[in-house]
Structure 1
Amino acid sequence: MRFLIAAAALASVLGFTGTAHAQSSVEGRVDRLEREMRAVQRKVFPGGAGATVEPQIRPEQSPVEIPGVPASSPVADLTQRIASLESQLQSLTGQTEQTQNRVNQLEDAFAAYKRSTDARIRALEDSLSAVPVRGGADGPATGGSGSNGGTAAAPPVPAPARPTGARAEQLAAIQKPNGADPAENGYLYGYRLWEAKFYPEARKELEAVVTAYPNHRRASYAQNLLGRAYLDAGAPSLAAKTFFDNYSKNPKGERAPDSLYFLAQALEKLNKPSSEICRVYGELEKSYGDSISAEIKSGVAAGRTRHKCK
């Protein structure tokens, strides 16, 4: 009898120890999984603030226990916690892999776009590399004429000498804007000078805007109009360089499409081959498409017909 009692006591002790050991092992697994879960969440959501991910696959909910049914054991509770943590880890791992894949795709697309854009710009640079920049008939030596009265030498940056006579009176009649934005004032005044065919004075104002305010919205306008001032004054070489610079250095500027169009006009004035002019028209349509104004679309269509562009 004493032997049976001792055996029963020993079995009870051993059973309790085994259960405690199993529970300790499972708790260790839970602690490890919870630490890994928190580490993954800190990496995926570095901002914190409760940015956790609910598991996409949840364990089935236990049925409502009828009063009197014994509660689940600690091991069963820990097992359920493990299943939930493993589900969350699987969900986070999948989302992380999908995000990384999208980032890789975006990087590849941007790299391809950059290579394509660089190649097109190099092709245009090759076309312009043969354009001579010289004085004489193709230099900025032609001053304004006609309604603005008189002609005078016009270097790239006009001399600061004050004009005299009828020209001075006509210049004085052109109103200078006095708004709060100096870049806007400079561009508008340069535009009024260009419109009145005072090309040297217009170039001076427009160059000042481009130099002083390269990141202003009007910089694209000023650079494009500067090229037109060169072109209208009979300096297509300088005009071509100015137009190309406006497109290549500020392709998202509002007057970049216009500069490509007038670049083709400058190349035509220089008697460049039709293949080079057609290349510029092609770049214009490829880069800007439907954003081109109706006036430029009409001019491009006429130019492509004139030069038999394919």
Structure 2
Amino acid sequence: MTVRTARIAGSSNWGLRFVGVGGAALALLAIAPPALAQSSNDEARVRKLEAEVRALQRRVFPGGDGRYFEPEITGQPQASTTVSQPSTTAVTDILARLDAMETQIQRLTEQTEQNTFALRTLGERVEALETLDAGAVQGDAPTGGSSGLTSGTPARGPATTATATPTATSTPTSTPAAAAPDPERLAAVSAIAKPQTEDPADDEYSYGFRLWEAGFYPEAQQQLTLFVEQNPQHWRATYGRNLLGRAYLDDSKPREAAPWFLRNYQADKTAARAGDSLLFLAEAMIALDDTSRACIALAEFAETYPALAAGRLLDQYERNRARVTCN
């Protein structure tokens, strides 16, 4: 009875313990759902906040997702480096250009000063040459500024010599010679044929050249004067003026020759016979014992036509230089 009672009592105690544990468990189960629900709510809120933050980041920093773009903070130094390099290069280029401009300005300044000096010197020489018209060159020959001769008043030639009235400077002995032209000379002149080509002006010059080449200087003077006065723009004009001066110079008339040489040089300094005329002008001045103007003409020739002075006209240039002493 006692043992059974004890067993029953033990069973009862165990039952009570079981009831107590079960009650506690039930109590915990009753309490757990609210706690679990709160935890789930917090996690949901956190996830919602994170989603909102990401959405805000995408709006404020578009493309900031590392899956598609590099982080912005790592790109800043590269961007600044890329921008700074061109700016430094641009400054360097500007400085280099300024240096180049300064160098060019210095060269232009030096060249301008040299050109100014050369022009001043050239102007002085030209003025000295122009004084030939009013100084050493006198008489009824043409001046450098105007023709002085027209087709109606040709230079001294056989026809003019035969019919002209003696001037104040003519000698009495020239009148008898003019009254009786040499028949043989007239025949020799008539034997020289005048060319007949498609260029009548060139034919006039060629005929004057043939007369000069044959030594008929007065006839050549008349013919060449007619050519240069009637054809001042012809391409042979520079040849005609130069040859006309030579016709006077070879006829021992340097005073009449000098104006034609000067006129031909001043008409066009780049013409084919401008350099020849300047050198012959020096030769005419030497014949007139005008050393000063001869030296001016020689210096002008050497400076303006160095190729001729060292080439085609070298012998004549050296010969004329040897005849005068220039400072």
Is the TM value for this pair above 0.5? yes
Deviation of the 1:243 alpha carbon: 0.8
Of residues 77, 83, 89, the one that matches 1:84 is 89
- Structure 1 pair 144/296, CA: closer, same or farther in 2 (3 Å)? farther
Q: Is the 8 A contact 1:142 1:233 kept in 2?
A: no
CA contact (8 A) 1:244 1:260 kept: yes
CA-CA distance at 1:110 after TM superposition: 1.8
The answer to whether the 8 Å contact 1:143/1:153 transfers is: no
1:221, 1:254 within 8 Å by CA — same for their partners in 2? yes
Determine which of 222, 244, 249 is the counterpart of 2:240: 222
Taking the aligned partners of 1:283 and 1:201, their CA distance within structure 2 comes to 30
SS of aligned partner of 1:133: coil
Q: Which residue of 1 aligns with 2:294?
A: 277
- Cα gap change, 1:99 to 1:253, in 2 (>3 Å): same
Shift of 1:114: 0.8
Q: Once the two structures are aligned, what percentage of the paired residues are identical?
A: 27
Within 5 Å, give how 1:295-306 maps onto structure 2: 296-306=313-323
CA drift of 1:103 comes to 2.8
Question: Is residue 2:138 matched to residue 1:133?
Answer: yes
Q: Does 1:102 align with 2:107?
A: yes
C-alpha separation between the residues in 2 aligned to 1:132 and 1:208? 24
TM-score (norm 1): 0.56
1:122-161 aligned within 5 A: 122-135=127-140, 142-144=156-158, 152=162
Measured in 1, the distance between the counterparts of 2:271 and 2:299 equals: 19
User: 1:172/1:107 Cα in 2 relative to 1: closer, same or farther (>3 Å)?
Assistant: farther
Distance 1:298 1:105, change over 3 A: same
RMSD: 4.3
Q: Distance in 2 between matches of 1:75 and 1:307?
A: 79
> Which residue number corresponds to residue 11 of structure 2?
none
- In structure 2, runs of 5+ residues without a counterpart are 1-52, 61-69, 142-148, 166-182
Structure 1, unpaired ranges of 5+: 1-8, 17-67, 156-164
Does the 8 A contact of 2:309 with 2:317 survive in 1? Answer: no
Cα gap change, 1:103/1:174 in structure 2, threshold over 3 Å: closer, same or farther?
Answer: farther
Q: Does the 8 A contact of 1:227 with 1:240 survive in 2?
A: yes
Superposed CA deviations along residues 9-62 of structure 1, whole A, max 9, x for unmatched, are 9xxx9xx9xxxxxxxxxxxxxxxxxxxxxxxxxxxxxxxxxxxxxxxxxxxxxx
8 Å CA contact retained: 2:192, 2:210: no
Distance in 2, Cα, partners of 1:129 & 1:242: 14
User: Is 1:291–2:296 an aligned residue pair?
Assistant: no
TM-score, normalising length: structure 2: 0.54
- Cα distance between partner residues in 1 of 2:294 and 2:89: 67
Structure 1 residues 76 and 275, CA, compared in 2 at 3 Å: closer, same or farther?
Answer: closer
Give a deviation string over 1:112-171, Cα, whole Å, max 9, x none.
Answer: 2111111112222335531243249xx9763259xxxx964589xxxxxxxxx9959955
Equivalents in 2 of 1:186, 1:201: separation in Å? 7
